[in-house]
Amino acid sequence: MTATAEKVRRGRKFDQVLEGAKQVFLSDGFEGASVDDIARAAGVSKATLYSYFPDKRLLFMKVATSQCEMQAEEALQTLDMSHPPRVVLRQVARQFLGFILSDFGSSIFRICVAEADRFPELGREFYASGPQTVHDAVVCYLQLARDRGEIRDCDLSLAADQFAELCKADLWPKLIFGIRTSFEESEISRVIDGAIDTFMARYGA
């Protein structure tokens, strides 16, 4: 059990508090978000908010991990392990980029990095709640693809990580450094096509 789960108490307005907090964190960031603003956005009293979350850090962590868990679950539900690599890798890439290029995904990344020194568990729990889950699912798929003779025998964990990095080429650096705020569908498709071609050239049987 994580430190977050140990200290957070659920109640009738729990989801309401999370939704209000999500809106404020996205708008103002972790540092700029006030408890008063979060309570107002959630439509609850500060006493109710504090009864669920003793401090703002725990609230932010729960917002981040809940959103990431939801994205990971959606990704896994669409993953058909019986399909060939090019089909499944395209599904994975779409889900992955859809999240990290979203306003919420990029904001969560920036906040985790900004707060890493003071709250190192933020990044760890965020990673475990989604990216690690998806990584493990991709490794599982690659094992099946290898057994079917579609993928070469290799370090599958490294291969999964390399595919994720290939999907971020060109797009992620421009987004995170503020060069671009959005991308056309053709730009995203170009990167995904290149990632799949490069991956299959290296690992395809």
pLDDT tens across 161-198, in order? 999 999 999 999 999 999 999 999 999 999 999 999 99
pLDDT 10s digits, 188-203: 999 999 999 999 999 9
The enclosing domain of 126 has a CATH number of 1.10.357.10
pLDDT 10s digits, 92-111: 999 999 988 988 788 778 87
Q: Which residues contact 187 (CB under 8 A, 6 or more apart)?
A: 170, 171
Domains contained in the chain, number: 1
At 26 the pLDDT is 80
Nearest to 49 by CA among 64, 39, 37, 34: 39
Integer Cα distance of 45 and 68 in angstroms: 27
Would the pLDDT of 2 be above 70? no
Structure-block tokens of residue 99:
């999240």
pLDDT 10s digits, 41-84: 999 999 999 999 988 888 888 888 888 888 778 777 888 899 99
Would the pLDDT of 6 be above 60? no
**What would the DSSP string read from start to end of 109-173?**
HHHHHHTTTT-HHHHHHHHHHTHHHHHHHHHHHHHHHHHTTSB-SS-HHHHHHHHHHHHTTTHHH
Tell me which amino acid residue 194 is: G
Range of the domain at 47: 3-203
